Amino acid sequence: MSVIKTFGKYRNLLGELVKKDIKLKYRNSYLGVIWTMLEPLLTMLVLTLVFSELLGKGTKDFPVYILTGRLLFSFYSNGTKAALKAVRNNAGMIKKVYVPKYMYPLASVLSGYVIFLISLVVLAVVAVVRGVYPTLQLFWIVVPLAQILLLTLGSGMLLSTMAVFFRDIEYLWGVALMLLMYTCAIFYKIDSVITGTNGWIFKYNPLYAIIVNFRNAVFGQAPDFQSMFYATAFGAVLMLFGTFVFYKQQDKFILYL
């Protein structure tokens, strides 16, 4: 109850921190928020050119397939990186005034989530242009959208704690994200891979499980409930664990900042 009361007391500050992060992200950019929609679009065009035109492995709806994976992974990648550095980047404020320290990684993830939701406009436009029209299954999209936020928050809380004590975690996480990207099937289809000996890599990857149901909702297919339950359970456990570790170690932060 005390945690809930504290959150309610500082909720306005959280909103201001989110606004600040968004403004800082586009402070010296001429395109501003437009770049949020332009960047995934350009990435999609490059990947479509390589895999569809040059390698001949794409279909008419292949750009939509790429975008559905790319947008989710980009949010997770950028959100966890921002959360990882959130406590360290706000060391000056932490030393001067009391603010619940979890506000900093939380604001970093939420600001990225707002930008991610804006970028979904690009997905909607590309889907219509490529002949992928909404169906009733699209209502299921709220589940993976909630799951990706939960997973990113859980990862961010844990990483932000580790980064205070181990500065090298930033570089190690960059390598881990690169490995994770190739096991999320962002720009290739895994129909023949998932049934093979290495299929377990995708089966136990919670981020891939989220991407699967996000794609199913966009393409009008029924959700994969097994993946849905797994991703929800994994995200909830990670969120609880990350928050617990952060809470236990937050009093020591001041000694390492």
DSSP conformation letters of the chain = -HHHHHHHHTHHHHHHHHHHHHHHHTTT-SSTTHHHHHHHHHHHHHHHIIIIIIS----TTHHHHHHHHHHHHHHHHHHHHHHHHHHHHTHHHHHHS---TTHHHHHHHHHHHHHHHHHHHHHHHHHHHTT----GGGGGGHHHHHHHHHHHHHHHHHHHHHHHH-TTHHHHHHHHHHHHHHTTTSSS--TTTTTSTTTHHHHT-HHHHHHHHHHHHHTT----HHHHHHHHHHHHHHHHHHHHHHHHHGGGHHHH-
The answer to whether residue 87 is domain-embedded is yes
Domains in the chain, number: 1
Residue 174 lies in a domain: yes
* 43 domain-assigned: yes
Instruction: Give the tens place of pLDDT for each residue, 110-135.
Output: 999 998 998 898 889 889 988 889 99
Q: 127: which residues sit within 8 A by CB, 6+ positions away?
A: 64, 133, 134, 218
Between CA 101 and CA 105 the distance in angstroms is 8
In a domain, residue 5? The reply is no
2 assigned to some structural domain = no
Structure tokens at 226: 């097994």
**Is residue 1 situated within a structural domain?**
no
Q: Domain range for residue 91?
A: 12-256
Q: What mean pLDDT do residues 35-43 have?
A: 72
* Lookup: tokens for 38: 């332009």
Closest CA to 63 of 85, 42, 84: 42
pLDDT at 119: 87
Q: How confident is the model at residue 139 (pLDDT cuts 50, 70, 90)?
A: very high
Is residue 7 situated within a structural domain? no
**172-181 confidence digits (pLDDT tens):** 999 999 999 8
Q: Is the dihedral of CA 119, 75, 6, 142 positive or negative?
A: positive
Per-position b or e across 14-41, b if 16+ CB within 10 A of its CB: beebbeebbeebeeeeeeeeebbbeebb
Residue 186: per-residue pLDDT: 82
Angle at 134 between CA 132 and CA 136, to 5 degrees: 140
Q: Does the structure show a pLDDT above 80 at 200? A: no
73-114 confidence digits (pLDDT tens):
999 999 999 999 999 988 888 888 888 899 999 999 999 999
Residue 164 lies in a domain: yes
